[in-house]
Amino acid sequence: METTLTPVLGATAQHITAEEFDAIVRRHQRRVHRVLLMLLRDADEADNLTQECFLKAYQNFSSFRGECSLETWLLRIAANLARDHARSRKTSFWKRLLGFDDGADEVPTWHIAAPEASPEQTLLAREEVRAVWAVADQLSQQQRAVFLLRFVEEMELHEIATALGLQVGSVKAHLFRALQNVRGKLRDPR
């Protein structure tokens, strides 16, 4: 699924045509949108920032050197946008307090598609997902991003490190702590 820049544009591409850009959007928009949706848990914001992410990528295409995959580079832009957005959202305390920010922070527990599972199994799975989200919510922004990229996007450690601008060792440390919390929560869901 991952596509490097080379087959599309050539490793030293400085500029892309509108058609090439459109092809890139169509190839990567699902993943970029999904990552933003996970990080923000706000469908509208995820949609807006997906658009912003691709526009930024187009604008700064000359800075892409092909050192990582194009998708990882796009996810890095997306992660930075999500981080900036989270910072600005922190300041909108009154907005949240007054209930104008209801769309955010949805917990996707009801999307467990397992038609062959029994009602008990589905319920248990829902509880587990809820427990994992509860842990993810308590993680720092960086830890949560690492955790979600690893266990939802199933990215490799070095890809996560590149996407978030971290060392692989830091990624491992963040995951280790997150997993300790998840295990603790699964043992004692209260």
Chain residues binding another protein by CB under 8 A are 18, 21-22, 25-26, 29-30, 33-34, 37-38, 47, 50-51, 54-55, 58-59, 108-109, 111-113, 125, 128-129, 131-133, 148, 151-152, 154, 157, 172, 175-176, 179-180, 182-183, 186-187
Q: How far is the CB of 150 from another protein (least distance, A)?
A: 8
How would you class 46 by CB atoms within 10 Å of its CB: exposed for 0-12, middle for 13-18, buried for 19 or more?
Answer: buried
In angstroms, rounded to a whole number, what is the distance separating the alpha carbons of residues 145 and 51? Answer: 20
Q: How far is the CB of 126 from another protein (least distance, A)?
A: 8
Q: What is the DSSP-derived secondary structure letter of residue 90?
A: H
- Choice between 95 and 152, CB closer to another protein: 152
Q: How far is the CB of 79 from another protein (least distance, A)?
A: 16
- Choice between 89 and 133, CB closer to another protein: 133
- Choice between 66 and 151, CB closer to another protein: 151
In angstroms, rounded to a whole number, what is the distance separating the alpha carbons of residues 103 and 98? Answer: 13
Determine contact, residues 186/177, Cβ cutoff 8 Å: no
Q: Which amino acid is at 25?
A: V
- Choice between 51 and 141, CB closer to another protein: 51
Q: Residues near 61 by Cβ (< 8 Å), separated by ≥ 6? A: 13, 14, 15, 16
- Choice between 37 and 68, CB closer to another protein: 37
In angstroms, rounded to a whole number, what is the distance separating the alpha carbons of residues 147 and 121? Answer: 24
Q: How far is the CB of 149 from another protein (least distance, A)?
A: 11
